[in-house]
């Protein structure tokens, strides 16, 4: 495995990163709890009970909107994430473009489909999602799409192996980096994704916007539709394959 940090640390200088990232989450919690209770008072009580059962909020996230605080609250997937190991705090991931964040989400919907023992009888899984924006700004940033890291683009965009990027993410965290920009491994276009290591990198405590999206996942493709913007984004399963297989490096 290439140790990118050892190769780049002497020529690396933190830079200011700022902009708006776009993130997507599945919107189901209140719908699910409403189905379990008889009235709004009972729902409020159930929501409070569920809140107490969750991990405590990470320090410095108490004033953040829950959509911004939640990613820092929960641990990563069983085998970590693109820029963090399973033993580190969670990151807030997003993309600078809607297409980029939907490509990432579409990939994970297809991984979820592949793991289902019995697919839906209809052949389609319909889910509701919230797409939202967040402003970020940090003087302690690392842009992996630029030198000195750009020389290792192939490794940094490996769609099936996160070992090198996790090692680099851990090293950048230890060096005090708060925000990372990097090229997506899921799009043909050179889409820039964002990973915030610290809530201090958020420039505002609330989302800049929220939109409702529908997702339809089938065996061979996944599609997203927004009734608000009339946008449609479709991704074929084949576009995510590596050597004929759908990779799942963090599952």
Q: Would you give the end-to-end CA distance of the chain in angstroms?
A: 20
pLDDT band at 27 (very low <50, low <70, confident <90, very high): confident
Quick one: pLDDT at residue 30? 46
| pLDDT beyond 90 at 51 | no
The per-residue pLDDT for range 72-95, each reduced to its tens digit, is 987 767 778 999 988 888 999 999
Quick one: pLDDT at residue 60? 82
Q: Out of 25-29, 85-89, 114-118, 195-199, which region has the weakest mean confidence (pLDDT)?
A: 25-29
Copy the structure tokens of residue 114: 């592949």
How far is residue 20's CA from residue 97's CA, in Å, rounded to a whole number? 9
For residues 126 and 188, the answer to whether their CB atoms sit within 8 Å is no
pLDDT band at 59 (very low <50, low <70, confident <90, very high): confident
The per-residue pLDDT for range 165-187, each reduced to its tens digit, is 999 999 999 999 999 999 999 99
Judge whether 127 lies within some domain.
Answer: yes
Going 207 to 208 to 211 to 213, the CA torsion angle's sign is negative
3-state secondary structure of 93: strand
Copy the structure tokens of residue 108: 């994970």
Quick one: pLDDT at residue 75? 72
Judge whether 117 lies within some domain.
Answer: yes
Judge whether 249 lies within some domain.
Answer: no
What are the b/e assignments for 199-235, b being 16+ CB within 10 Å? bebbeeeebeeebebebebbeebbbbebeeeeeebeb
Mean predicted confidence (pLDDT) in 144-154:
98
Judge whether 247 lies within some domain.
Answer: no
Domain count, the chain: 1
Contacts (Cβ under 8 Å, ≥6 apart) of 225: 213, 214, 215, 216, 231, 232
Judge whether 54 lies within some domain.
Answer: yes
Judge whether 229 lies within some domain.
Answer: yes
The pLDDT mean for the chain works out to 90
Task: Kindly list the distances between the CA atom of residue 234 and the CA atoms of 224, 225, 231, in Å, as whole numbers in the listed order.
Answer: 6, 9, 10
Report the phi/psi class of residue 90: left, alpha or beta, with left for phi > 0 and alpha for psi in -120 to 50. beta
Judge whether 251 lies within some domain.
Answer: no
pLDDT band at 144 (very low <50, low <70, confident <90, very high): very high
111: containing domain: 4-240
> Which is more confidently placed, 240 or 58?
240
Judge whether 250 lies within some domain.
Answer: no
Quick one: pLDDT at residue 251? 67
How far is residue 16's CA from residue 164's CA, in Å, rounded to a whole number? 24
For residues 220 and 239, the answer to whether their CB atoms sit within 8 Å is no
| pLDDT beyond 80 at 11 | yes
How far is residue 104's CA from residue 125's CA, in Å, rounded to a whole number? 17
Quick one: pLDDT at residue 55? 65
Q: What pTM did the predictor assign?
A: 0.88
Question: Helix (H) and strand (E) counts for the chain?
Answer: 7, 8
For residues 128 and 212, the answer to whether their CB atoms sit within 8 Å is yes
The per-residue pLDDT for range 32-45, each reduced to its tens digit, is 444 444 555 554 55
> Which is more confidently placed, 248 or 43?
248
Work out the burial of residue 75: count CB atoms within 10 Å of its CB; fewer than 13 is exposed, 13-18 middle, 19 or more buried: middle
């Amino acid at each position: 495995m290439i140790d990118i940090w050892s190769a780049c640390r002497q020529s690396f200088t933190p830079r200011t990163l700022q902009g708006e990232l776009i993130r997507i989450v599945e919107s189901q919690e209140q719908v699910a709890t409403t189905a379990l209770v008889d009235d709004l008072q009972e729902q409020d009580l159930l929501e409070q009970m569920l809140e107490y059962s969750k991990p405590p909020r990470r320090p410095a996230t108490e004033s953040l909107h829950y959509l911004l605080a939640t990613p820092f609250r929960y641990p990563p997937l069983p085998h970590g994430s693109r820029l963090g190991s399973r033993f580190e705090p969670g990151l807030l991931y997003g993309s600078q473009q809607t297409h980029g964040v939907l490509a990432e989400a579409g990939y994970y919907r297809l991984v979820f489909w592949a793991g289902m023992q019995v697919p839906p009888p209809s052949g389609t899984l319909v889910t509701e999602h919230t797409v939202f924006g967040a402003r970020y700004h940090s003087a302690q940033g690392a842009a992996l799409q630029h030198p000195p890291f750009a020389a290792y683009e192939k490794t940094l965009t490996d769609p099936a192996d996160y070992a090198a990027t996790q090692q680099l993410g851990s090293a950048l965290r230890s060096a005090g980096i708060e925000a990372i920009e990097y090229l997506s491994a899921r799009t043909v276009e050179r889409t820039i994704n964002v990973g915030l290591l610290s809530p201090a990198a958020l420039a505002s405590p609330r989302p800049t916007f929220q939109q409702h999206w529908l997702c339809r996942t089938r065996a061979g493709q996944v599609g997203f539709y927004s009734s608000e913007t009339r946008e449609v984004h479709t991704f074929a399963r084949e576009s995510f394959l590596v050597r004929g297989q759908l990779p799942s490096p963090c599952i």
